Amino acid sequence: MPEQDADPFKLAGQVTLITGGGTGIGLGCAQAFVAQGAKVVISGRREDVLKAAVEKLGPQADFRVHDVTDFSAAEGVIESVEEQHGPLTALINNAGHAVKKPTVDLTEEEMLGVFDVHVRGALALSKHAATRMMVSGGGSILFMASMASLIGIPYIAAYAAAKSAHLGMVRTMAVEWSPKGVRVNAIAPGWIMTDMTKETVLKDAERTEKILSRTPLNEFGEPEDIGWAAAFLASPAARFITGVCLPVDGGVSIGF
């Protein structure tokens, strides 16, 4: 039986990299990890957004300007984080990009653009992170999937396909890497109260009512709801969990 941690939910001593960590769900994850004692490095394309987020997060937070579609830079970003903060123990692939339009109008360029962020970008970071984790004591890699990985949602075929690819990657990586100390899991968020949700969904009363009517908990989630789930999956408390997708969606995916 493994030695029990005094508080297996704490993340003290961990170093976490969160892509797309300056806003929304990524920032919610960063806040939860900081609250649990981790050192958090958020990445994204906009330095001003990242700086503002780090000011909000406090001294346990840092940032790196990084575009996940710059695949050749993935190893360097992880190396930079480790040089300053120590071995990486958790990676959250959260950066996202979506195209909303009828599937018959979807172009190859749009499809590939979504896959570059969600699949190729996440793969580049994950394989370099895992390689380092395997020789430094292990770690946890999380993919931010979506309810679109689990249920049909119209007009987001590229996004749904990319997020579904996450689930295949998670299972494959888990069976390859878990024996070497690297757990790999996914979270599938439902409707979350991000700035984008506020600017689009909430301005459409009919759509808001429809969403809530299909959500058994009858409310939108908050970014920190996803953050706490991610913090759990990265913690020692989840040491026997790998290769799974945890829906955090108010019950949307169970059918209602």
Domains and CATH numbers, the chain: 15-195+224-247 (3.40.50.720)
Is the pLDDT at 255 greater than 80, yes or no? no
d(CA 200, CA 193): 11
- The pLDDT of residue 256: 59
Residue reference for tokens 């969990």: 241
Q: What is the mean pLDDT of residues 183-189?
A: 99
CB 175 within 8 A of CB 130: no
Is the pLDDT at 39 greater than 60, yes or no? yes
Residue reference for tokens 């692939």: 93
- The pLDDT of residue 159: 95
Q: In what order do the strands lie in the sheet with 139-144?
A: 61-65, 39-44, 15-19, 90-93, 139-144, 182-189, 245-248
d(CA 13, CA 245): 25
Q: What is the DSSP letter of 214?
A: T
d(CA 218, CA 211): 8
Task: Report the phi/psi class of residue 168: left, alpha or beta, with left for phi > 0 and alpha for psi in -120 to 50.
Answer: alpha
Query: Token digits for 1?
Result: 């039986």
**Confidence at 249, pLDDT banded by 50, 70, 90:** very high
- The pLDDT of residue 124: 98
CB 90 within 8 A of CB 147: no
Lowest mean pLDDT among 2-6, 35-39, 205-209: 2-6
Query: Which amino acid is present at 25?
Result: I
* Residue 155 falls in the annotated catalytic set: no
CB 32 within 8 A of CB 14: no
Residues 6+ positions from 205 with CB-CB distance below 8 Å: none
Active-site annotation holder among 63, 115, 143, 159: 159
What does each C-alpha distance from 73 to 69, 80, 199, 248, 252 come to in angstroms? 9, 11, 33, 31, 37
Is the pLDDT at 2 greater than 60, yes or no? no
Q: 200-223, pLDDT tens digit by residue? A: 788 889 989 999 999 999 999 999
d(CA 4, CA 82): 27
Query: Token digits for 144?
Result: 């931010």
Percent of the chain topping pLDDT 70: 98
User: pTM value?
Assistant: 0.95
Phi and psi at 179, nearest 5°, equal -60, -15
d(CA 186, CA 50): 24
